[in-house]
Amino acid sequence: MQFTIARTLPELRSALDPLWPEGIAFIPTMGALHAGHMSLVEASRQYAPHAVASVFVNPAQFGPNEDFARYPRALESDAAMLEAAGVRVLYAPEVEDIYPPGFATMVGVQGALVDELEGAHRPGHFAGVATVVAKLLMRVMPRAAVFGEKDWQQLCVIRRMALDLDLPAHIASVPTLREADGLAMSSRNRYLSEAERAIAPLLYQMLKEIAAWLASPAPRNEDILSGAAQHLLASGFTQVDYIALRDAETLGSPQPSRPMRLLAAAWLGHTRLIDNVAVSG
């Protein structure tokens, strides 16, 4: 099966032209691909016969002091992995292809969904995410787009945006793929030193323990969240941005008999890890 790398919108359009009638499932990424990304490719099969992926490190979703410049880039091996997985088209545009001179429109999801948790620590992040995802969906016009639960808040924001803007693609999601010790796979894990990598799985272990405790009949107590943060700090994490229990869809306060999600972000030196787990009420 033919594999095409498209670097510009016209190249993308001619590569997608023969695929549209049968249907496309789309996997947007920032590259430096790992098995977690490939599980999205695998899942995409159930939504359409042709898989199309993008690799674009989107400057609009990085703050001025974040890791845009040093974010890992590995286009050659990304392309090889996608081709081997049967992806038909890799769209890997330059920044100017997505944001040409004069570009002046941002997609702004409003409210707590974007202002809290990641949004509180990364101002403007979700405007950058929503804008690029909206543009990519318009360009690729897939039947479905597949996202990871790893970035739970991002998934909620994209679902909200797709609903509010009547974007025709189905927004599908895939559970977080983890290393054997529980650490959520992430392109940023390669920043971790050996010592940090040894501590990193504690974030998921804490989330799982808290989720199990919250699901038990013991009375609910918010102190458990600050206790967990203290434990992470005592174990070598250098900063805890948040550990929060939220409604799984609106990310507002938990509501009786609605699904909940426990979300966390914490630093190990210069590396920021995020993770989340379901909580049964």
Question: Which residue, 173 or 214, has its beta carbon nearer to ligand AMP?
Answer: 173
User: Which is the catalytic residue, given 34, 37, 170, 270?
Assistant: 37
Q: Please enumerate in sequence order all residues whose Cβ is within 8 A of that of 57, keeping only pairs 6 or more positions apart, or say none.
A: 30, 31, 68, 71, 73
Q: Please enumerate in sequence order all residues whose Cβ is within 8 A of that of 218, keeping only pairs 6 or more positions apart, or say none.
A: none
Among 15, 30, 82, 136, contact with ligand AMP (rule: CB under 6 A): 30
Q: What's the min distance (Å) between Cβ of 268 and ligand AMP?
A: 17
Among 91, 147, 191, 204, contact with ligand AMP (rule: CB under 6 A): 147
Question: Which residue, 36 or 254, has its beta carbon nearer to ligand AMP?
Answer: 36
37 counts as catalytic: yes
Question: Which residue, 173 or 225, has its beta carbon nearer to ligand AMP?
Answer: 173
| CA-based torsion, 192, 198, 202, 208: positive or negative | positive
**Site size for ligand AMP, by CB under 6 A?**
17
Question: Which residue, 13 or 34, has its beta carbon nearer to ligand AMP?
Answer: 34
Residue 241's closest CA among 269, 273, 201? 273
**Site for ligand AMP contains 39 (CB under 6 A):** yes
Q: What residue number has its CB nearest to ligand AMP? A: 148
- Asked if 214 and 245 count as a contact pair (C-beta separation under 8 A), the reply is yes
Partnered with residue 261 across adjacent β-strands are 246, 278
- Please, which of residues 167-206 interact with ligand AMP by CB under 6 A? 174, 176-177, 184-187
Q: What's the min distance (Å) between Cβ of 152 and ligand AMP?
A: 8
Question: Which residue, 104 or 180, has its beta carbon nearer to ligand AMP?
Answer: 180
Q: What's the min distance (Å) between Cβ of 34 and ligand AMP?
A: 7
Among 19, 24, 26, 36, contact with ligand AMP (rule: CB under 6 A): 36
Q: How far is CA 227 from CA 6, 210, 233, 242, in A?
A: 49, 10, 10, 12
Q: What's the min distance (Å) between Cβ of 92 and ligand AMP?
A: 13
**Site for ligand AMP contains 44 (CB under 6 A):** no
Give the binding range for ligand AMP (CB under 6 A) out of 88-96, 132-140, 148-156, 220-228.
Answer: 148-156
Angle between helices 125-140 and 152-164 (to 10 degrees): 60
Q: What's the min distance (Å) between Cβ of 55 and ligand AMP?
A: 8
**Site for ligand AMP contains 40 (CB under 6 A):** yes
Binding site for ligand AMP (CB under 6 A): 29-30, 36-37, 39-40, 147-148, 150-151, 174, 176-177, 184-187
Catalytic center residues: 37
